[in-house]
Structure 1
C-alpha cells in the first residue's frame, strides 16, 4: 500500500520529522500527522489480519471430515482470496512468513509511536504560543 504524500511531514525509516515555520503550518502539519496515523493504522490492521490467517493455516493439522465442511471451507477460501486480491498489492500477496509480518508490525508500531510524539510536541508548542 502506498501512503499519501505530505508537505510538512517526512518519515525516514521509523523516524518522523516535521518542518513548520508558523502556527498555520503547524495546524496543517497536525492534520497531516493525524491522517498519516489513520493510514498506518489501516495498514497495520491489514498486516494483523494477514498474520492471523497465515498462523491459522500453519496450525491446521486436520482436514474437514464431511463434504459439507469441505464445501464451507472452500467457499471461505474463495472469499478470502477475493478480499486479498482487492485489498493487497501484488508484492503483499506474495507468501510472507509470520516473522516478516511481525517485523513489519513492529516497524509500523514504532512509526505510530513517533507520530504520536510529534503530535504531542506540536500541540504543546501551539498551546505555549497561545
Structure 2
C-alpha cells in the first residue's frame, strides 16, 4: 500500500511538471493579418517617392503590407498581376525616369486599383491612422 501511494505521488508530480510545459500562452500582441477588398487608386505619390523603402506602408497604412496585387489598365479590366511579396519580388522592372531610381511595384497604388494583405499590431498604437 505504501508503495502504491509513492507511485501515485510520483506520477502526480510528473504529470504536474509535464503540464507546466504545455502552458497556454498569450498571443494578444501578435499582429492580425487581413486581405483588403479591391482598393481604388490612392492618388498618393509617397508610394513612389519612397523608392525601395519598405516602411512607407507603416506610415501610410499603419501596418505591414506583406503582399499585394495590381490591376493592369484599363481600370475594371479584372486583369490582375500575380502576388507581389514585399522584399521578395516587388521591385519595379522600370526605373523612375532619368534619375534611374528604383521603386517598388506598390508605387502603382497611386493610379491603379489594388488589393493587399496587411498585418497590423493589436497593441502598439504608434501610428496616427
> Do the structures match in fold with TM over 0.5?
no
TM-score, structure 2 length as denominator? Answer: 0.25
Whose strand fraction is larger, Structure 1's or Structure 2's?
A: 2
